[in-house]
Amino acid sequence: MTDELRQRIAALMPQARTDLAELVAMKSVADPRQFPPEECARAAQWTLDAFAELGFTDARLVETADGSKAVYGTRRCPNPDAPTVLLYAHYDVQPPLDDQAWRTPPFELTEVDGRWYGRGSADCKGNIVMHLTALRALRDDVPVHLKLIVEGSEEQGTGGLEEFVAPNAELLKADAILVCDTGNAAVGSPAATVSLRGMVNVVVKVESLKTEVHSGMFGGPAPDALSALVRMLATLRDENGGTTVTGLDNTQTWTGEAYPPDRFRADAGLLDGVELLGGGHVSDLVWARPALSILGIDCPPVVGSAAALQPHAAARLNLRIPPGTDPGQAQAALTEHLKHAAPWGVHVTVEVEATGSPFRADTSGPAYAALGEAMKEAYGTEMAMLGQGGSIPLCNVFAGQYPEAEIILMGVEEPLTLMHAPNESVHPDEIAGMALTEALFLRKFADRKTG
Ligand SMILES: [Zn+2]
């Protein structure tokens, strides 16, 4: 049955490409200040129509709390005892960012060296096309009840769908949830993402003087706020560059698949001679330990800056936290650390912008067993279990609402996709391989639950 499905999917790939080209052409950035809302409306309608054609006869748009519309639908199978699987993706995309940095037009699917380039080609329109291709390959023989939710504001972080889940718990209830917004370890290396870091975002503000004063007259004894801030930020890393927030454990190790350092260097685009930080295994540092990044600093830009001491300065910080760390505790530790590190009696305030919990999947159930078999058959190699440095808050919402459900993170977004950056792309072999995985998974999961 695998060979037959594989052949069907190969034959479906031209349609997958056409579909993806149509989707990528829609500039569905869910921020009306940047792109007209009609672009999102078109992407939503396109998705609705495509799934309606595949038997989701009740497909419809549902409004979420942030005003975005999600595509929802169900597809029953003849066996009433069959398990239910919820398929997830999102149709909104990141803005293209720097147009000049794109080597191909961001909203025109373009093939270069075997990869398909365009904003959203992987994240997450490639996963919508993966779902469609898997279902087309199965034809009428889909042995599970399906539910579909494709949201329209994932990239905005406004939490529309997250707030939709609790009041609409019955609509989305399922035995297994395929959160298809991650990807394999590399092209051809199948993987499930089983751990996500949480995060704490803060803005730290430093004040030292009533107003700007001349650096010639006062520089020396008078403390400038920017120097104080720089000293404080420097205490957040040790000499190896490892994150050192007092009170947070930075010795934990990752027990799943290792992230080879050479691949990490290439994936992250480190320049020649630039070192990896933290003095440990890459997988420990990126999946099992806290990591602090400075996202922005408020201070005078170089051009236009005067010979003056700065009375105030601010920085926006992002702290990623691994499973096992409580965001509230991490936020308190970071705030305490910054206040303690402030030199010279300068005034410090720390505002918390946002926090998110880490996530760890329970991989002991039948859905993970079915997925492991499906990946092995589709790719010929064992499924790896990966972590991901980023956060997907919806996973915690699903885990809280449906403690019995198995939550699986997978998809077409392997590291070379450069999601969120200019020149995003997808490898068509990943669409084909993951569509085959998904089709096999649905069959094997049904067998395990009903057989
Ligand atoms: Zn995404």
Q: 198-252+289-356 sits in which CATH class?
A: alpha beta
Q: Could you tell me the pTM of the whole model?
A: 0.86
pLDDT at residue 315 in the model: 98
Cα–Cα separations (whole angstroms), residue 167 to 104, 217, 233: 42, 63, 42
Catalytic residue among 123, 151, 154, 438: 154
Ligand 1 center to residue 289 CA distance, Å? Answer: 23
pLDDT at residue 418 in the model: 92
pLDDT at residue 162 in the model: 95
pLDDT at residue 99 in the model: 87
Written as tens digits, the pLDDT of the chain (451 aa) is 789 999 999 999 999 999 999 999 999 999 999 999 999 999 999 999 999 999 999 999 999 999 999 999 999 999 999 999 999 999 999 999 888 999 999 999 999 999 999 999 999 999 999 999 999 999 999 999 999 999 999 998 888 999 999 999 999 999 999 999 999 999 999 999 999 999 999 999 999 999 999 999 999 999 999 999 999 999 999 999 999 999 999 999 998 889 999 989 998 899 999 999 998 899 999 999 999 999 999 999 999 999 999 999 999 999 999 999 999 999 999 999 999 999 999 999 999 988 889 999 999 999 999 999 999 999 999 999 999 877 888 999 999 999 999 999 999 999 899 988 999 999 999 999 999 999 999 999 999 998 7
Cα 220 to Cα 227: distance, rounded to the nearest angstrom: 12
Ligand 1 center to residue 123 CA distance, Å? Answer: 5
Ligand 1 center to residue 147 CA distance, Å? Answer: 19
**Is the separation of the CB atoms in 224 and 440 below 8 Å?**
no
Burial environment of residue 128 by CB neighbours within 10 A (0 to 12, 13 to 18, 19 or more): buried
- Residues paired with residue 205 on neighbouring β-strands, in sequence order: 314, 349
Which region holds residue 294: left if phi is over 0, alpha if psi is between -120 and 50, else beta? beta
Ligand 1 center to residue 90 CA distance, Å? Answer: 7
- Residues paired with residue 348 on neighbouring β-strands, in sequence order: 206
pLDDT at residue 256 in the model: 85
Q: Count the neighbouring beta carbons within 10 Å of the beta carbon of residue 147.
A: 21
Ligand 1 center to residue 35 CA distance, Å? Answer: 18
The answer to whether the 2-196+358-450 and 198-252+289-356 domains have the same CATH topology is no
Ligand 1 center to residue 424 CA distance, Å? Answer: 12
- Residues paired with residue 198 on neighbouring β-strands, in sequence order: 321
Cα 291 to Cα 308: distance, rounded to the nearest angstrom: 33
pLDDT at residue 451 in the model: 74
pLDDT at residue 388 in the model: 85
Is 3.30.450.40 the CATH classification of the domain at 2-196+358-450? no
Ligand 1 center to residue 89 CA distance, Å? Answer: 8
Whether 154 is catalytic is yes
Whether 351 is catalytic is no
Ligand 1 center to residue 392 CA distance, Å? Answer: 9
Ligand 1 center to residue 184 CA distance, Å? Answer: 14
Catalytic residue among 92, 224, 414, 438: 92
Q: Give domain limits for the chain.
A: 2-196+358-450, 198-252+289-356
pLDDT at residue 393 in the model: 87
